[in-house]
Amino acid sequence: MDEQTRWQRRKELEGKTVEQVGETHPESGEPAVRWLTSEELDELRREMKEASAWARAELKRRRERGHS
């Protein structure tokens, strides 16, 4: 889903209640889906960047070990 499509979908949903969207957790009744706060998005991006760096380093280490 591209950025514009996501934005359009968010605009469609943001005025609706959870009941209108129909997405609740089966046990708790809490919303099963919610928009992340800007702080949560920043933290997620940071964690993804760290995980990506770790994965690249791990692949490099494994390649180097395999060629020894």
Distance (Å) of CA 24 to CA 13, 15, 40, 47: 14, 16, 20, 27
- Return phi, psi of residue 37, to 5°: -75, 165
Helix (H, G, I), strand (E, B) or coil at 63: helix
pLDDT (tens digit, 9 = 90+) per residue, 7-64? Answer: 787 777 776 665 556 667 777 777 777 788 899 999 999 999 999 999 999 999 999 9
Question: What is the torsional sign of CA 48, 50, 51, 53?
Answer: positive
- Tokens in use for 23? 């997405």
Q: pTM of the full predicted structure?
A: 0.51
